[in-house]
Chain A
Amino acid sequence: MAEEITIPGWKRWLEDIGEQVSFFIRFFKNIFVGGFEWSEFVRQCYEIGYRSMMLVGITSFIMGVVLILQLRPTLVSFGAASMLPKTLSVSFIREIGPVIIAIICAGKIASSIGAELGSMKVTEQLDAMDVSGANPLQYLVVTRILATTIMVPILSVVGDVIGLFGGFLALNLRDHISISLYATKVIASLDYTDFLPAFIKTIFFGLAIGFVGCYKGFHSSKGTESVGLAANSAVVTASLWIFVIDAIAVQITSILFYK
């Protein structure tokens, strides 16, 4: 009996993996099919990037402030208050900024894409596009995944800058440090091994967010409930992928740069 229950579950899981691989291959092939949807791509970049800027900015600013306020007592007790800009910048640029911003994007963007495409599936818009001979993958999927792949790293860079600025303001609540000295300390404490791997992993975060949102939306079942499920599942799966990619990226970075 137990075997009868377990095997279909594994089969479903394997089928899902297979479908995801097949969906990714179809997405990849469609990037190079003629007639790239530039106007839809630009619209998606605006929707995904510009419309997320405020949320990312506020969150990053608060994180910068909070990190300084949390770090300060410990570093002061060691007589290392001057290390605050370095500690903040390295931790923010390498890890906290990219991951937190990607998680925020997963919540905002992956859910929005999942719900939008899920709703289009329920109302037969995807079928209508398909049977008309148009290519829904090229119009809907390629544009959205490429837009997230490009905009999430940009959001991450913007978030890093705003977060570091938040740290500067928080530092000035107790101490006095000029913006030029703060900037000099931040820049001096960072090199390409901090910035480059973090930037590269945000590209993969963006790819995962767009891909998961599109996949969940495209594969939602036909019912109003499935729209909510697609959105929810997109957030959960994309968040999980962000941590998995982060873990892999940290391992690769450690091997390459921090022997």
Chain B
Amino acid sequence: MEEKATKAEPKEKKTHDKQEAVIAIKHLKKSFGSKDVLKDINLVVHRGENVVILGRSGQGKSVTIQCIVGMLIPDAGTLKVFGEEVAGLNEKELKELRMKIGFLFQSGALYDSMTVRENLEFPLTRVLKLKDQAEIDRRVEEVLDGVGLADAIDKMPSDLSGGMRKRAGLARTLIIKPEIMLYDEPTTGLDPITSREISELILNMQKKYKTTSIIITHDMECARITADRVVIMDDGEYIEEGTFDSLQKSKNKIVQSFFKDIS
């Protein structure tokens, strides 16, 4: 039985430090064989901001965040995170950068040979190199409590529902207190109620841990709940951006097609 997420507080109007661009992407291009997936991507994400990248499946949304975390190397353009060009980082520098970034995979990507507790202990002992078991236990329990999974601490991933796996995956990424959170389709494959709970959880965790977030989705409800700013992606390019409400009034037909079912 899946536990209820903490109810999201009403979204407050946020002011972001416009001087501090945490992620800055200019003219980013990425191809796979003859297919140009990212044609000309330009995006600046400020500290504390929640940016939702909205687009149809197969448009290269996930490729953008995979480039941000250094899983893929762009073909052209610049991609700076905390002012550093990701493609120019050596292995050690990339590892240090990744310690500041949390990446929630579509499936949750829990290590299926480990319990939930061991999954959460893994980044603490391997990445942060914590030795004190009392401190490890305290942090595991605190973050699991935050995502409403305290009772599932000793369960195996195979015993968890889809929503619980996403929560556990979120807990595992948040436990190292990242400054940036990248969410790859966090609500895909979930029922509408659980999707809403996960979206509210993302918002609550963003407030609690004060992270800067990029959320890749095609779930409009998730975008409405979580976004400070929405970027619409089509055919490898960002075609329009703005707040969720402002984009609802857009004249662009592609943008309109995303909003037509919810207006």
Using CB atoms and an 8 Å cutoff, list the residues of chain A in contact with chain B. 35, 116, 120, 123-125, 127-135, 139
With contacts defined as CB atoms under 8 Å apart, how many contacts are there between chain A and chain B in the complex?
55
Expressed in whole angstroms, the Cα–Cα distance for A100 and B102 within the complex equals 47
Expressed in whole angstroms, the Cα–Cα distance for A237 and B71 within the complex equals 28
Given A35-B129, A124-B106, A127-B105, verify A132-B111 contact (CB < 8 Å): no
Given A124-B107, A125-B109, A125-B112, verify A130-B71 contact (CB < 8 Å): yes
Expressed in whole angstroms, the Cα–Cα distance for A174 and B90 within the complex equals 70
The 4 closest A-B pairs by CB, nearest first: A128-B109, A133-B98, A124-B109, A134-B126
Interface centre among A127, A129, A132, A133 (most CB of B within 10 A): A132
B:159-175 near A, CB below 8 Å:
169, 172-173
Using CB atoms and an 8 Å cutoff, list the residues of chain B in contact with chain A. 69-71, 95-96, 98-99, 101-103, 105-107, 109-113, 122-123, 126-127, 129, 169, 172-173, 176
For residue B176, which residues in chain A have a CB less than 8 angstroms away from its CB?
A: 132-133
Expressed in whole angstroms, the Cα–Cα distance for A64 and B129 within the complex equals 50
**Contact partner of A139 among B102, B105, B126, B169, CB < 8 A?**
B126
Judged by DSSP, the binding face of A is helix
* A59 vs chain B, min Cβ distance (A): 27
Expressed in whole angstroms, the Cα–Cα distance for A125 and B95 within the complex equals 17
**Contact partner of A132 among B70, B110, B129, B173, CB < 8 A?**
B173
Given A35-B129, A125-B112, A139-B126, verify A131-B107 contact (CB < 8 Å): no
B103 touches A131 (CB 8 A): yes
* A12 vs chain B, min Cβ distance (A): 14
**Contact partner of B111 among A35, A125, A131, A135, CB < 8 A?**
A125
For residue A120, which residues in chain B have a CB less than 8 angstroms away from its CB?
A: 111-112
* B21 vs chain A, min Cβ distance (A): 21
* A220 vs chain B, min Cβ distance (A): 16
Knowing that A125-B109, A125-B111, A134-B122 are A-B contacts, what are 9 other residue pairs whose CB atoms are under 8 Å apart, sorted by A's residue number?
A: A35-B126, A124-B106, A127-B109, A129-B122, A131-B69, A132-B123, A132-B176, A133-B98, A134-B123
* A127 vs chain B, min Cβ distance (A): 6
Interface centre among A125, A133, A139 (most CB of B within 10 A): A133
A133 touches B110 (CB 8 A): no
B107 touches A123 (CB 8 A): yes
Chain A residue nearest in CB terms to B110? A125
For residue B103, which residues in chain A have a CB less than 8 angstroms away from its CB?
A: 128, 131-132
Expressed in whole angstroms, the Cα–Cα distance for A116 and B114 within the complex equals 13
Expressed in whole angstroms, the Cα–Cα distance for A123 and B126 within the complex equals 21
For residue A124, which residues in chain B have a CB less than 8 angstroms away from its CB?
A: 105-107, 109
Expressed in whole angstroms, the Cα–Cα distance for A134 and B110 within the complex equals 14
Interface centre among A35, A120, A123 (most CB of B within 10 A): A123
For residue A123, which residues in chain B have a CB less than 8 angstroms away from its CB?
A: 107, 109, 112
17 contacts between A and B (CB under 8 A): A35-B129, A116-B113, A120-B112, A124-B106, A125-B112, A128-B109, A128-B169, A131-B69, A131-B98, A131-B101, A131-B103, A132-B172, A132-B176, A133-B96, A134-B123, A134-B126, A134-B127
For residue B113, which residues in chain A have a CB less than 8 angstroms away from its CB?
A: 116
For residue B122, which residues in chain A have a CB less than 8 angstroms away from its CB?
A: 129, 132, 134
Expressed in whole angstroms, the Cα–Cα distance for A125 and B127 within the complex equals 16
* B33 vs chain A, min Cβ distance (A): 13
